[in-house]
Amino acid sequence: MFKCKTSPEVGGMGHSVKRKEDARFLHGKGKYTDDVKLPGMLHMVIVRSPYAYAKILSINKEKALAIDGVLAVITGEDLAQYNLHWMPTLLSDSQMVLPTDTVMHQSQEVCAVIATDRYIAVDGAEAVDVQYEPMKAIVNPFKALDEDAPLLRPDKEGQKDNHIYHWERGEREKTDAAIAAADVVVKERIHLPRIHVASIETCGVVASYDKDTEKMLIYLTSQAPHAIRTILALVAGHVGLSEEKIRIIAPDIGGGFGGKVPVYPGYVIAIAASFLIGKPVKWIEDRSENLVNGFARDYHMDCELAATKDGKIQAFKVSTLADHGYTDSSANPSKYPTGMFSICTGSYDYEHAFAELDAVYTNKAPGGVAYRCSFRVTEAVHAIERMVDKLAAEIGKDPAQLRFENFIKKEDFPYASPLGWSYDSGDYKQTLEKAMDMIGYADYKKEQAEKRAQGKLMGIGICTFTEVVGAGPSKDFDILGIKMFDSAEIRVHPTGKALARFGTKSQGQGHETTYAQILAEELGIPYTDIEIDEGDTDTAPYGLGTYASRSTPTAGAAAAIAARKLRDKGKKIAAHLLEVSEEDIEWEVGKYFVKGAPEKSKTIQDVAFAAYTNFPEGMEPGFEATHYYDPPNLTFPNGAYICVVEVEEETGAIDVKRFVAIDDCGNIINPMIVEGQIHGGLTQGIAPAMYEGIVYDDEGNVLNGTLMDYLVPTAVESPHWETGHTITPSPHHPLGAKGVAESPTVGAPPAIANAIIDALYPLGIKHLDIPITPDKVWDAIQVAKAKA
């Protein structure tokens, strides 16, 4: 168990101190991109395509320009003059900023109206007359690979069909052979549908170009401001926007979840507009735009799990078709086009695995956002956890027992997975036992048997997942060549108070509190005396930002090591002040003392003061340290979730009775914040499991593009989440911590799906794709009854 080293007042690791940032957020004083108002600021509204696939015949700006207050209508042709009409995606595909001839998905940006206020810009957008020639859209990703399917990307040299890439990992032949020889093989095609990243704040930008200084100041809803600055400089350097002239400030962000990592065309158009007009330009995406642009998931996974008749897992194979829309704009590390999907072998020890994926173009919005997920881990965990339950049902074994018999054992860590990961630590048995105790698993099993005897539908679902977060070690992880380290810079002022800056960017995760707690732990300076600053590329050290639960594994580690550098310098100063040699100085959180004479001591504050006023001769003055942390490995948080549901046979209504989530994220910095992260993530887990999914018709129209039709769960739909934790520290992280923010979003959907399928199993229903809605359940029940 973790034991706090500091008092609650100092507030180091393990203390549930209240969030420092809440004073501002709870009083409505957060400063978001839309709160930025600059003198002379113009407003931009985007005209979007009503068609999923169409030729643009003409764009007539006249009526729009005739409106008082409309200053410009920017088209693809306008941007083409500066070679800014296309941009690279993070995975080296290409994406239109504005089209010159063809639109490739419904709601794609067609042109943008710049006006003196937003209302006028909206009027202007309505007055732009665009003539289209609609074409037959490809909506079904399987049909996109048909030989006679029209080529969607003729602009790409050498592109002969709609196939983007093939990826594979593992041993195909050995896995196939193991599957062929196995006693039992369960198979399923599992689809994880397209969903939205419906954060409270939509995307937005205020771009302000100063022609005199040639500087571009950009306020941006960005989870990764430094990387975006570099990309912008690479894209627009040829028109004079070089990196030192660009300053990106990511102010407060109202939820990112991966949706604020990519560069959206709207950002680039607004930046280009400000550059051309020489005035600040604001673009704030409205809710409808946010709901039809971008996406997460959309993997069709053909899974096969092989085992002995007693349930010893032997091999897993998964072949996936990924629908990327019209361009691959997934925000994944360069060497990992499918993200960390190869974690799909899960928490179980077996020898053979093979995963492959084919990505295709369709006439849908691009995105492939790692929605609160460390790059496709949600898909991977859903695949293995559904299949393990399917195997348990097939051989008639309790799904908990099956898991216990197949878990990677505590003593087997570091564990080399068959698809190439080195899991750092875990105690899966303990975590599942804790979840079973907490929920009262045995009693529910009895209750279920009784209910089944009465013809009632009750289900118990388990998910025991392994996550992989903290991208990542520079040998393997980069985005467009930029290595995925992260950074911390600490300045301790003469009075012992501090300012620390990071390359990450909080979007509500509480970094202002938890980073201060890490420094309090390492230095003994109270967390309330430490200001945390992130998101301004002119002041923060370079870092790759916050997504994929990477902040604690990377920047959190950087903070600890930078603090230790300070402590080393402080030791020299303390020795000087106490007039002993450095070897005679010992450290205890917050103070240095003379070995064997603890009454002779200097506090960290005394030492900080001396660093500016009375430092040893020859020493560099000041009390500052910086560290760029290149993690040696990723961290592998894990958890055991159990869900109990009842399903009403007459209506298909699903009632989530209980949900217990036991998480293991190693040592915990702030238990209250972690619990908050888990609660939010679980709600974002029930969302795709039971409610969310983008629905297209055959023409590529989005049928649920408003919050009236696309049901984002709220507190009303959320069950009472019961949480707990086990602790297996990460052996390679300086604080023993692992990331946590995404575990619940990853673990909840299969637990819920497994529970619902378990409830329906007596009717002969063996699988349903998420979202498992009442009408889907009702339909399945009718089909099952008709067959019976």
Positions annotated as catalytic residues are 223, 372-373, 742
Question: Closest distance between ligand CDP and the C-beta of residue 637, in Å?
Answer: 8
Residue 754 interacts with ligand CDP (CB under 6 A): yes or no: no
- Pairing state between β 478-479 and 654-664: unpaired
Question: Closest distance between ligand CDP and the C-beta of residue 532, in Å?
Answer: 11
Q: What secondary structure letter does DSSP report for 341? A: G
What region does 400 belong to: left with phi over 0, alpha with psi -120 to 50, or beta? alpha
Q: Is 2 or 587 the residue whose CB approaches ligand CDP more closely?
A: 2
Q: Which of 575, 552, 570, 571 is nearest to 624 (CA)?
A: 570
Residue choice 70, 740, 765, 777 for contact with ligand CDP (CB under 6 A): 740
Main-chain dihedrals φ then ψ at residue 220, nearest 5 degrees = -145, 140
Q: Is 608 or 665 the residue whose CB approaches ligand CDP more closely?
A: 665
Cα→Cα distances 130→64, 77, 194, 289, 326, Å? 11, 14, 29, 18, 21
Question: Closest distance between ligand CDP and the C-beta of residue 490, in Å?
Answer: 16
Question: Closest distance between ligand CDP and the C-beta of residue 289, in Å?
Answer: 25
Q: Is 12 or 266 the residue whose CB approaches ligand CDP more closely?
A: 12
- The binding track of 675-714 with respect to ligand CDP, each residue x by CB under 6 A or -, is --x-------------------------------------
Residue 179 interacts with ligand CDP (CB under 6 A): yes or no: no
**What is the full DSSP assignment across 279-330?**
S-EEEE--HHHHHHS--EEEEEEEEEEEE-TT--EEEEEEEEEEE-TTS---
How many angstroms separate the CA atoms of 160 and 164, rounded? 10
Let me know: does 627 contact 444? Beta carbons within 8 Å.
no
Q: Which of 234, 240, 430, 397 is nearest to 313 (CA)?
A: 397
Residue 487 interacts with ligand CDP (CB under 6 A): yes or no: no
Question: Closest distance between ligand CDP and the C-beta of residue 108, in Å?
Answer: 30
Measured between its terminal Cα atoms, the distance across the chain in Å is 53
Q: Is 406 or 677 the residue whose CB approaches ligand CDP more closely?
A: 677
The contacts of residue 212 (CB under 8 Å, 6+ apart) are none
Question: Closest distance between ligand CDP and the C-beta of residue 548, in Å?
Answer: 7
Question: Closest distance between ligand CDP and the C-beta of residue 281, in Å?
Answer: 30
Q: Which of 412, 415, 392, 410 is nearest to 463 (CA)?
A: 392
Cα→Cα distances 764→478, 646, 788, Å? 47, 16, 9
Residue 377 interacts with ligand CDP (CB under 6 A): yes or no: no
Strand, helix or coil at 103?
strand
How many angstroms separate the CA atoms of 17 and 514, rounded? 9
Residue 227 interacts with ligand CDP (CB under 6 A): yes or no: no
Q: Is 741 or 777 the residue whose CB approaches ligand CDP more closely?
A: 741
Residue 149 interacts with ligand CDP (CB under 6 A): yes or no: no
- Span interacting with ligand CDP, options 332-340, 344-352, 503-511, 778-786, rule CB under 6 A: 503-511
Q: What secondary structure letter does DSSP report for 771? A: S
Residue 639 interacts with ligand CDP (CB under 6 A): yes or no: no
How many angstroms separate the CA atoms of 151 and 153, rounded? 6
Q: How many helices (H) and strands (E) does the chain have?
A: 18, 32
Q: Is 448 or 546 the residue whose CB approaches ligand CDP more closely?
A: 546
Residue choice 261, 357, 737, 781 for contact with ligand CDP (CB under 6 A): 737
**What is the full DSSP assignment across 356-420?**
EEEEE--SS----B-TTSSSSHHHHHHHHHHHHHHHHHHHT--HHHHHHHHBPPGGG-SEE-TTS
Question: Closest distance between ligand CDP and the C-beta of residue 478, in Å?
Answer: 18
Q: Is 20 or 569 the residue whose CB approaches ligand CDP more closely?
A: 20
The contacts of residue 435 (CB under 8 Å, 6+ apart) are 441, 462, 640, 641, 642, 660, 661, 662, 724
- Span interacting with ligand CDP, options 95-103, 317-325, 549-557, 717-725, rule CB under 6 A: 549-557
Q: Is 45 or 548 the residue whose CB approaches ligand CDP more closely?
A: 548
Q: Is 677 or 773 the residue whose CB approaches ligand CDP more closely?
A: 677
Residue 223 interacts with ligand CDP (CB under 6 A): yes or no: no
Q: Is 325 or 543 the residue whose CB approaches ligand CDP more closely?
A: 543
* Sheet (strand 42-48) strand order: 70-75, 109-115, 42-48, 281-284, 204-210, 215-220, 246-249
Residue choice 741, 746, 748, 770 for contact with ligand CDP (CB under 6 A): 741
Residue choice 550, 627, 658, 725 for contact with ligand CDP (CB under 6 A): 550
Question: Closest distance between ligand CDP and the C-beta of residue 307, in Å?
Answer: 33
Residue 549 interacts with ligand CDP (CB under 6 A): yes or no: yes
Question: Closest distance between ligand CDP and the C-beta of residue 3, in Å?
Answer: 15
- The binding track of 510-529 with respect to ligand CDP, each residue x by CB under 6 A or -, is xx--x---------------
Residue 546 interacts with ligand CDP (CB under 6 A): yes or no: yes
- Span interacting with ligand CDP, options 134-142, 341-349, 531-539, 739-747, rule CB under 6 A: 739-747
Binders of ligand CDP among residues 655 to 674 (CB under 6 A) are 665-666, 668-670, 673-674
CA atoms within 13 A on the CB side of 220: 35
Question: Closest distance between ligand CDP and the C-beta of residue 743, in Å?
Answer: 8
Range list of β-strands (E), 400-522: 415-416, 422-423, 457-466, 478-479, 482-483, 486-492, 498-502
Number of residues binding to ligand CDP, judged by CB under 6 A: 22
Q: Is 98 or 203 the residue whose CB approaches ligand CDP more closely?
A: 203
Question: Closest distance between ligand CDP and the C-beta of residue 775, in Å?
Answer: 34
- The binding track of 323-352 with respect to ligand CDP, each residue x by CB under 6 A or -, is ------------------------------
Q: Which residues are paired to 310 by β-bridges?
A: none
Residue 378 interacts with ligand CDP (CB under 6 A): yes or no: no
Range list of β-strands (E), 648-707: 654-664
- The binding track of 235-274 with respect to ligand CDP, each residue x by CB under 6 A or -, is ----------------------------------------
Q: Is 258 or 693 the residue whose CB approaches ligand CDP more closely?
A: 258
Residue choice 230, 425, 537, 552 for contact with ligand CDP (CB under 6 A): 552
CA atoms within 13 A on the CB side of 476: 14
Per-residue tokens: 682: 């679980």
How many angstroms separate the CA atoms of 661 and 258, rounded? 23
Residue 551 interacts with ligand CDP (CB under 6 A): yes or no: yes
- Span interacting with ligand CDP, options 395-403, 494-502, 504-512, 683-691, rule CB under 6 A: 504-512
504: exposed, middle or buried (C-beta count within 10 Å: 0-12, 13-18, 19+)? buried
- Span interacting with ligand CDP, options 173-181, 397-405, 597-605, 733-741, rule CB under 6 A: 733-741
Q: Is 115 or 673 the residue whose CB approaches ligand CDP more closely?
A: 673
Let me know: does 635 contact 470? Beta carbons within 8 Å.
yes
Question: Closest distance between ligand CDP and the C-beta of residue 663, in Å?
Answer: 9
Task: Provide the binding-site residues for ligand CDP, judged by CB under 6 A.
Answer: 509-511, 514, 546, 549-552, 665-666, 668-670, 673-674, 677, 737-741
